[in-house]
Amino acid sequence: MVNWLSRVVCVCIVCCLLLFDFSVEQQENILVLGEERIALIELRSSLGIRAKEWPIKKNPCTDWVGVSCSPSNSRVVEINISRFTRTIKGSQNPLFSVDAMQNLTALEAFNASNFALHGNIPDWFGLSFTSLQVLDLSSCGITGTIPSTFGNFINLTSLYLSDNNLAGSIPLSLGQSSRLSVLDLSKNSLSGDIPESFSSLRNLSSLDMSLNSLSGEIPPGIGKLSLLKRLNLSGNSLSSSIPFQLGDLSNLVDLDISKNSLVGPLPANFFASMRQIRFLVMAHANFSGEFPEILWSLPQLRFLDASGNNFTGRLPDVGPNVSFTGAIINLASNMFFGNLTTVIRRFSFVNLSANYLQGTVPDYARVNVSLSSNCLDNVPDQRNQRECSLFYSDRTPAISGKKNRNIMFWAVLGGVALSVLLVIFVVVLCVCLHKKGATEQRGTAEEPAPTRTNPQFPGVSLNFSILGNSFDYLQILQATGEFNNKNLIKHGHSGDLYTGLLEGEIPVVIKKVDFQSVKKEAYMVELDNFCKVPSHFRLVPLLGYCLEKDNEKFLVYKYMPNGDLSSVLFRNTNADDEKLHSLDWITRLKIAIGAAEGLCYLHHDCTPPLVHRDVQASSILLDDKFEVRLGSLSKVCVQEGDIHPRRFTRLLHMPQTSKQGTSGSPSATFAYDVYCFGKVLLELVTGKMGMSEANDASVKEWLNVIMPYINIYDKELVTNIIDPSLIIDEDLLEEVWAIAIVARSCLNPKPSKRPLMRYILKALENPLTVVRDTSSSRGSWNASLFGSWRSSSSDVVVVPEPTASKIEGGSWRTGNRRHNFIN
Ligand SMILES: *[C@@H]1O[C@H](CO)[C@@H](O)[C@H](O)[C@H]1NC(C)=O
Ligand SMILES: *[C@@H]1O[C@H](CO)[C@@H](O)[C@H](O)[C@H]1NC(C)=O
Ligand SMILES: *[C@@H]1O[C@H](CO)[C@@H](O)[C@H](O)[C@H]1NC(C)=O
Ligand SMILES: *[C@@H]1O[C@H](CO)[C@@H](O)[C@H](O)[C@H]1NC(C)=O
Ligand SMILES: *[C@@H]1O[C@H](CO)[C@@H](O)[C@H](O)[C@H]1NC(C)=O
Ligand SMILES: *[C@@H]1O[C@H](CO)[C@@H](O)[C@H](O)[C@H]1NC(C)=O
Ligand SMILES: *[C@@H]1O[C@H](CO)[C@@H](O)[C@H](O)[C@H]1NC(C)=O
Ligand SMILES: *[C@@H]1O[C@H](CO)[C@@H](O)[C@H](O)[C@H]1NC(C)=O
Ligand SMILES: *[C@@H]1O[C@H](CO)[C@@H](O)[C@H](O)[C@H]1NC(C)=O
Ligand SMILES: *[C@@H]1O[C@H](CO)[C@@H](O)[C@H](O)[C@H]1NC(C)=O
Ligand SMILES: *[C@@H]1O[C@H](CO)[C@@H](O)[C@H](O)[C@H]1NC(C)=O
Ligand SMILES: *[C@@H]1O[C@H](CO)[C@@H](O)[C@H](O)[C@H]1NC(C)=O
């Protein structure tokens, strides 16, 4: 037995020695990387990369997925974290935190496509990574602008920034990256002109700027990019006529200039040198004039879409003798006229609907030729007789003008036609204007957004890369214990809330939206809000969603350890003894300020400004440090009367009544939020929870009782209503008094007299300035204004103005005048 034991021990020791040996060897490998290894490890934790891809104990150069090092000096030359899944912790706050990379100055390729990096591209990118050749940041949820330091990427050959939320103009300096071969800025919100400096990018072979808001003229210098094979400018607001220099792009294979506001006819012989062109898209670009004849016979053409313009002309009378077939041509919604000709036999598919073709349809035009809404004889779905004769009579002089006819006859006919035309023109104009209004509305509703369309809701597109993880139904089931009742937090008005544990360890809150009881709209609005108002630290963090099921959708939020204000103000610390633990005043004030910050963000920092519409204690969620995260975002909508109503509100016909929070839907005004916030403030002061959720009648009754005790001239009165469980000394009493006064001003029965959220925030941050008035003329304010609640149409409180003001001896002033925010 002893013998056997000693043998086992021996084996163990040998094993240990071997292992030790091995780890020493590995240690050496790791040492080679030195400083850069530390940077990588920092990056690993700041981005939340999983041990599966980047095992911390292994050598990054050889064993980390997507990391490559230079064989000569072991410096990191490539990082490819494309499509990596972040750790749950990392995905909770997927920021663009890559500071650790600053030291990886030998980096040549960085690919983070489809990896959430919410935030701005750091300015130092262009300064640190001068050796960079490939940068792929597509679909990362990036915001902000393209840093002008990008011009320092002198060795850059490929730059992909597509499908983000980049705004602002394209920096001119980008024209300095003269080695660029691929530049993809598509699907962002870039505006301004296309920089003329792009004409220096002589090695460019692919330029994609589609689906942005670029305006102005296409720079003629683009015509100098002789290697260009692919040019996509679709879906912008480019205007004026297309520069003829673009016709020099003789290597173009794909050209897309569709969906712009270009002007007039194409330059003569524009396509004459573009012999390579295969895909040519110029639909809905506002072109007019003669259709370039050469487009009927470009040798490489496979796809031509020129629909929705005002091209005109007859089909050429040439036979199908060009050496190409299989191409598709779409000329729908133009003004082609005359007879069908054999030219259409050159294509395998032709769409000529909504033109003015006439005559009979030959047999060869009966397959794969779309001919609806023309003036043809023997096919269904044609324009009516009047429309057709109008169109042709309009042209008759031009068409048969060469023939020798009696001038007088034409003059008379012309006069008659003209007056008929005039009448019809007026009628058509009216109809058109009417229709235009409608299409314009639709136009903005479907404005190109850098988003994917949700098949569930055609027409509404959501940027899912911003919305966090997509969880599958099984994960949701497991997390909530199959929606076990003991995990149910409450039945909310926009869905049932459950607690859950994702992957058995991450606490989350899951909202189950059942379309049988909840309107789809509420859920869409909430998702849309998270898209539009990405991760502000005062809004509840969304971790992801599950859209798998048809009739039930799930939203997964970060778990808030302290629940919401309605449940936290008093809590049984110990179920056995009845003692209630109540929040101290400092925490209550912190919560008030936090909630005000959240509302301030919605009211004043969002464009367009948003109204929460569901401000109450249970919407104020609290994390472990009692930091406020506003929840219940399903009623958020645009401030009423906003000139740019949000896309979804129009789309979903959101109720926007102006009645103030009685029954039905709450009103969409700042003043309504302020009123509700006032009730929350009073709850904090009085400890009487439930009022912010109560119905109107009981609230009124409550306010009638309380208001007389809130008086700017009498601090002591307020002690009658203060929560008895608050322990307050003389200093704090003054703060409580101030907050009560702010609350009262929020509850002014006249919405127009309620202060703006930003003034409220300032007041909460400096409560004593509200009540301590040393300098100005409070005495002159009419004391009767502070009389009974019923007659209080105007209360007066001094509060700092946020701008142009500074703190002087603890109080905010605007010049010499204190800002009067309740009047
Ligand atoms: C890295 O980049 C290549 C394309 O260059 C891609 O195919 C690959 O999937 C990426 N991801 C990783 C982890 O290597
Ligand atoms: C980045 O990686 C993705 C794969 O996830 C790949 O499709 C893409 O081509 C890569 N980008 C570059 C510039 O190689
Ligand atoms: C870069 O490396 C130096 C040490 O050489 C270190 O002091 C510095 O903090 C590093 N920078 C970053 C951003 O990690
Ligand atoms: C750019 O590339 C060239 C060779 O292609 C190289 O010699 C040069 O050092 C590179 N520049 C930088 C800043 O890496
Ligand atoms: C352009 O590309 C070619 C090869 O694709 C390369 O030889 C040349 O050096 C590049 N020019 C510039 C200015 O980078
Ligand atoms: C141009 O870009 C748009 C949107 O990004 C895309 O739908 C279209 O297919 C592209 N056109 C060509 C010819 O590639
Ligand atoms: C369309 O083109 C016409 C001239 O052909 C021009 O007058 C009009 O302004 C253009 N429309 C837009 C929206 O740019
Ligand atoms: C075509 O021209 C007519 C007037 O000639 C104009 O009413 C119509 O809006 C134009 N259509 C397009 C798509 O530009
Ligand atoms: C095509 O046919 C037309 C007459 O229909 C003729 O003039 C032309 O030369 C032909 N082209 C070719 C390439 O055969
Ligand atoms: C032809 O174009 C019209 C107008 O754009 C469209 O409504 C129709 O569906 C197209 N026909 C076919 C067969 O694609
Ligand atoms: C009609 O279209 C189909 C599919 O696009 C194609 O296979 C067929 O050859 C076409 N027919 C003719 C007569 O061009
Ligand atoms: C158009 O076709 C009709 C027969 O459908 C024919 O009578 C007429 O002459 C043709 N017009 C022209 C200009 O070719």
**Which of 281, 336, 351 most suits a substitution to test ligand 10, by most atoms within 8 Å of the C-beta?**
351
Domain edge (last residue) among 559, 589, 618: 559
Q: Does one domain contain both 690 and 617?
A: yes
643-657 mean pLDDT:
35
* 614 in catalytic set: yes
Q: Does one domain contain both 630 and 691?
A: yes
On whether residue 381 sits in a domain, the answer given is no
Q: Does one domain contain both 493 and 582?
A: no
Asked if the model's pLDDT at residue 454 lies above 50, the reply is no
Using DSSP's 3-state secondary structure scheme, residue 559 falls into coil
On whether residue 116 sits in a domain, the answer given is no
pLDDT for res 406: 40
The alpha carbon of 697 is separated from its chain's Cα centroid by a whole number of angstroms, namely 40
pLDDT for res 299: 82
pLDDT for res 434: 40
For residues 412 and 416, give the distance between their C-alpha atoms in angstroms, rounded to a whole number.
6
Asked if the model's pLDDT at residue 335 lies above 80, the reply is yes
Q: What is the mean pLDDT of the chain?
A: 77
Using DSSP's 3-state secondary structure scheme, residue 605 falls into helix
Asked if the model's pLDDT at residue 456 lies above 80, the reply is no
Question: Kind of pairing, strands 637-638 and 327-330?
Answer: unpaired
pLDDT for res 486: 85
Nearest CA among 805, 445, 660, 823 for reference residue 814: 805
261-282 mean pLDDT:
90
pLDDT for res 136: 98
For residues 448 and 191, give the distance between their C-alpha atoms in angstroms, rounded to a whole number.
13
Q: What is the pLDDT of residues 58-78, one digit of tens each?
A: 999 999 999 999 988 889 999
Residue-number span of the structural domain to which 600 is assigned: 562-812
On whether residue 619 sits in a domain, the answer given is yes
**Which of 239, 310, 334, 434 most suits a substitution to test ligand 8, by most atoms within 8 Å of the C-beta?**
310
The encoded tokens of residue 424 equal 């019809």
Secondary structure letter of residue 235 according to DSSP = S
Whether 238 contacts 212, CB under 8 Å: no
Whether 54 contacts 33, CB under 8 Å: no
Burial label, 791 (beta-carbon count in 10 A; 0-12, 13-18, 19+): exposed
Q: 262 C-alpha vs ligand 10 centroid, how far in Å?
A: 23
- Identify the residue with better confidence: 229 or 503: 229
The encoded tokens of residue 136 equal 């792929």
Using DSSP's 3-state secondary structure scheme, residue 551 falls into coil
Asked if the model's pLDDT at residue 684 lies above 70, the reply is yes
Spatial neighbors of 566 by CB under 8 A, at least 6 apart, are: 616, 617, 618, 620, 689, 690, 692, 693
Q: 72 C-alpha vs ligand 6 centroid, how far in Å?
A: 42
For residues 612 and 601, give the distance between their C-alpha atoms in angstroms, rounded to a whole number.
10
On whether residue 213 sits in a domain, the answer given is no
Q: Does one domain contain both 704 and 800?
A: yes
pLDDT for res 209: 97
Domain edge (last residue) among 497, 529, 559: 559
Q: 348 C-alpha vs ligand 11 centroid, how far in Å?
A: 5
pLDDT for res 396: 60
**Which of 242, 263, 436 most suits a substitution to test ligand 7, by most atoms within 8 Å of the C-beta?**
263
For residues 729 and 733, give the distance between their C-alpha atoms in angstroms, rounded to a whole number.
6
The domain total for the chain is 2
On whether residue 670 sits in a domain, the answer given is yes
Spatial neighbors of 6 by CB under 8 A, at least 6 apart, are: none
Q: What is the pLDDT of residues 724-744, one digit of tens each?
A: 888 888 888 889 999 999 999
751-769 mean pLDDT:
90
Q: Does one domain contain both 555 and 593?
A: no
The encoded tokens of residue 702 equal 């409550």
Asked if the model's pLDDT at residue 752 lies above 80, the reply is yes
Q: Does one domain contain both 546 and 568?
A: no
Q: What is the pLDDT of residues 88-137, one digit of tens each?
A: 888 888 889 999 999 899 999 999 999 999 999 999 999 999 999 999 99
Q: What is the largest CA-CA distance in the chain?
A: 132
The encoded tokens of residue 410 equal 């034409």
In the numeric block, the tokens 């703060």 are attached to 735
Whether 138 contacts 164, CB under 8 Å: yes
Q: Does one domain contain both 499 and 536?
A: yes
Residue nearest to atom 10 of ligand 10 (CA): 351
Work out the pLDDT band at 646, boundaries 50, 70, 90.
very low
| 359 Cβ below 6 A of ligand 12 | yes
Domain edge (last residue) among 559, 592, 624: 559
The values of phi and psi at residue 197, to 5°, are -65, -15
The encoded tokens of residue 799 equal 């509060």
The catalytically annotated residue of 163, 305, 496, 614 is 614
pLDDT for res 102: 92
b/e map of 697-733 (b: 16 or more CB within 10 Å)?
Answer: eebeebbeebbbbbbbeebeebeebbbeebeeeeebb
b/e map of 503-524 (b: 16 or more CB within 10 Å)?
Answer: eeebebbbbbbeeeebeebbbb
Question: Kind of pairing, strands 189-192 and 213-216?
Answer: parallel
Whether 155 contacts 133, CB under 8 Å: yes
On whether residue 336 sits in a domain, the answer given is no
Of 252-256, 429-433, 662-666, minimum mean pLDDT range: 429-433
The dihedral formed by the CA atoms of 183, 186, 191 and 193, expressed in degrees to the nearest 10? 40
Whether 693 contacts 630, CB under 8 Å: no
The encoded tokens of residue 257 equal 């200039």
Q: Does one domain contain both 543 and 682?
A: no
Q: What is the pLDDT of residues 482-493, one digit of tens each?
A: 888 888 888 877
379-391 mean pLDDT:
89
For residues 685 and 253, give the distance between their C-alpha atoms in angstroms, rounded to a whole number.
70
306-327 mean pLDDT:
82
Q: Does one domain contain both 606 and 676?
A: yes
CATH number reported for the structural domain that contains residue 738 in this entry: 1.10.510.10
Q: Does one domain contain both 629 and 659?
A: yes
Is the pTM higher than 0.85? The answer reads no
Q: Does one domain contain both 555 and 566?
A: no
CATH number reported for the structural domain that contains residue 486 in this entry: 3.30.200.20
On whether residue 710 sits in a domain, the answer given is yes
Whether 301 contacts 322, CB under 8 Å: no
Q: Does one domain contain both 532 and 629?
A: no
Question: Kind of pairing, strands 167-169 and 189-192?
Answer: parallel
On whether residue 569 sits in a domain, the answer given is yes
350-354 mean pLDDT:
96
Q: What is the pLDDT of residues 21-63, one digit of tens each?
A: 344 344 444 444 678 889 999 999 999 999 999 999 999 999 9
pLDDT for res 463: 55
| 203 Cβ below 6 A of ligand 5 | yes
Residue nearest to atom 12 of ligand 12 (CA): 339
Q: Which ligand is nearest to the CA of 372?
A: 10
pLDDT for res 507: 86
Please give all residues whose beta carbon lies within 6 A of any atom in ligand 1, as ranges: 65-66, 80, 82, 111
pLDDT for res 308: 96
Work out the pLDDT band at 794, boundaries 50, 70, 90.
very low
- What is the C-alpha end-to-end distance of the chain, expressed in Å? 95
| % the chain with pLDDT above 90 | 39
Q: What is the pLDDT of residues 146-189, one digit of tens each?
A: 999 999 999 999 999 999 999 999 999 999 999 999 999 999 99
The encoded tokens of residue 680 equal 């929350």
| 176 Cβ below 6 A of ligand 5 | no
The encoded tokens of residue 552 equal 């039930």
**189 sits in which H/E element:** strand 189-192
Using DSSP's 3-state secondary structure scheme, residue 332 falls into coil
